Amino acid sequence: MNLGCEKTRVRLDDWLDGLLDEEVRREVNDHLAFCDECRAMFRRHLDLQGDLGALGSAAERIVAAGPSAAAGRPWRGMRFAASLAAAMALLATGYLITREDQRGVLPGGERRIALDEGQRQELTALGDLMVRRAGSDAVHIKGGPNCVAVNVETSNPKVHLVWLYGECGSEAAGDSTDDGDSSNSNETRRL
């Protein structure tokens, strides 16, 4: 059986996606062999499919190279790294709170962060991401009755970030960033 143009074109998507069974695929190919118009149309779509694949591969290379290489300029520096660290710190803190809330461990007084091994491993992975992306060495998390403060050390020793989650007084921020160097840039964010 020889398919007409209309029946061939209806099968274009399945042909591109490799979803046609063998017999129908052969019929489509038979039609394309003698129909210039349909062949040109299928060719255009096949080329487009190749272009999309090439764009996808280019995007993967951009990701693999990282933001600084992709932008063709030096790493944007502390501002970007710090915001990244802060976002991940927030993530870790919010996660802690969520997990503690779920477990009902919210007594009055200081909120202790005590994690079981599974939780610790998950948090460690997040912390690892955060630390690696920010070039930081450590993330300090401390708590109060209604507050968790996260102190993120960044790769710039003069820049510390403190994220406060909940009702935090100035003490939490002060304690977390007190390193005796008045030239340090301590950024405190409240949520």
Partner 1 sequence: MPEGRQLTTKATASARAGSASPAIELLRDRLMGLAVKLVWNAADAEEIVQEAFRISVSSGVGFDEERFEPWMVRTVSNLCLNHRRKRRAESLGPWIDPETGETPERVAARSEHLVRVRGAIEKLPPQQRLAITLRGMESMAYEEIAEVMEISVVAARSHVHLARRALAEMIETTK
Contacting positions for partner 1 (CB under 8 A): 13, 16, 41, 44-45, 48-49, 51-63, 65-67, 70-72, 76, 80, 83-84, 87-88, 90-92, 94-95, 98, 112-115, 120-129, 131-132, 137-143
User: Residue 190 Cβ, how far from partner 1 at the closest point, in Å?
Assistant: 15
Q: How far is the CB of 144 from partner 1 (least distance, A)?
A: 12
In the complex, minimum distance from the CB of residue 98 to partner 1, in angstroms, rounded to a whole number:
6
Give the H/E segment covering residue 164: strand 159-166
Cβ closest to partner 1, residue 33 vs residue 138: 138
Cβ-based nearer residue to partner 1, 26 or 44: 44
Report which secondary-structure segment, H or E, holds 34. helix 22-34
* CB closer to partner 1, 156 vs 183: 156
Neighbours of 28 (CB within 10 A): 22
Provide, rounded to whole angstroms, the least separation between the CB of residue 75 and partner 1: 10
Closest to partner 1 by CB, 108 vs 183, is 108
**What whole-number distance in Å separates Cα of residue 20 and Cα of residue 70?**
39
Cα dist. 158→18, 152, 177, 191 in Å?
A: 57, 12, 10, 23
> What tokens were used for 29?
């190919």
Q: How far is the CB of 16 from partner 1 (least distance, A)?
A: 8
Q: Which uninterrupted H or E stretch holds 179?
A: none
d(CA 191, CA 109): 21
Between 1 and 64, whose beta carbon lies closer to partner 1? 64
122 CB-contact burial (10 Å; exposed 0-12 / middle 13-18 / buried 19+): middle
Q: β-pairing, 147-153 with 159-166?
A: antiparallel
Q: State which residue, 25 or 99, has the beta carbon closest to partner 1.
A: 99
CB of 111 to partner 1, least distance (A): 10
